[in-house]
Amino acid sequence: MTSTDRELVVLCDEGGEPIGTAPKATVHTADTPLHLAFSSYLRDERGRVLLTRRALGKKTWPGVWTNSCCGHPAPGEATEAAVRRRIGQELGVSDRFFADSSEVLPDFRYWARDSSGVVENEVCPVFVIGLDSGAELYPAAAEVDSWQWVEPQALITAVDSTPCVFSPWMVEQLAHQALRQALLSVP
């Protein structure tokens, strides 16, 4: 049994309140229940944004370019703590390199179906995290196929021009002015 087989996601009601748990390995189906998640965007000391390409073995949206890191809070875990934990697990970045953290879209929620029929149905707060110089990436191959640091305006232009290249949650997130402003702000 892998750690993913034992990992639980927090199920929630329409108001985003926890109502139970389910194994992560079984929750993402054609009829995924609403559950808690998060998305994060890392910015380096130059203000660039980290894009990641999802590993080809991922159950949903394999090989798709997306934001820096996504994940699910564990039962009883604060969302910001889950963000820090997951960035460490997925990208190998120690939180000692976090210069700042901001919850930009606290009420973001989305529903999307990928080409295999698997649904994402998440209450998914969005964070922007600045990294100090010296932070290095050591992405987990099971999570990240490749990555690229990009200028925020280039990212916004690319998503606006060719949304089909990116994850649906990132496209929806970047439609919000609050996230665009946070990414475009000078570090």
CATH of residue 163:
3.90.79.10
Model confidence at 187, pLDDT cuts 50, 70, 90, reads confident
Residue 130 Ramachandran class (φ > 0 left, ψ -120 to 50 alpha, else beta): beta
Tell me whether residue 122 is annotated as binding: yes
Catalytic annotation on 122?
yes
Decide if 184 is inside a domain. Answer: no
**Domain of residue 61, residue span:** 8-178
Residue 186, domain member (yes or no): no
Please indicate if the annotation marks 35 as binding a ligand: yes
For residue 185, tell me if it sits in a domain: no
* Structural domain includes residue 75: yes
Residue of 12, 14, 17, 70 marked catalytic: 70
Structure confidence at residue 6 as a pLDDT band (50, 70, 90): confident
DSSP H helical ranges for the chain = 3-6, 24-27, 79-91, 152-161, 168-174, 177-184
Evaluate whether residue 187 is within a structural domain: no
Residue 2 has pLDDT above 80, yes or no: no
State yes or no: is 151 an active-site residue. Answer: no
Q: Which one is catalytic: 69, 122, 124, 172?
A: 122
Task: Tell me the one-letter amino acid at 75.
Answer: P
- Residue 16: CA count within 13 A, CB half-sphere: 12
36 has which bridge partners?
Answer: 123
Q: Is 103 annotated as a binding residue?
A: no
Q: Is 28 annotated as a binding residue?
A: yes
90 labelled binding-site residue? yes
Give Cβ neighbours of residue 153 (< 8 Å, ≥ 6 apart): 184
| 95 confidence band (pLDDT: 50, 70, 90) | confident
pLDDT given for residue 5 in this prediction: 58
- Confidence class of residue 186 from pLDDT cuts 50, 70 and 90? confident
Is this model's pTM higher than 0.85 or not? yes
pLDDT band at 1 (very low <50, low <70, confident <90, very high): very low
pLDDT tens digit string along 10-55? 999 999 999 999 999 999 999 999 999 999 999 999 999 999 999 9
- Write down the mean pLDDT value for the chain: 95
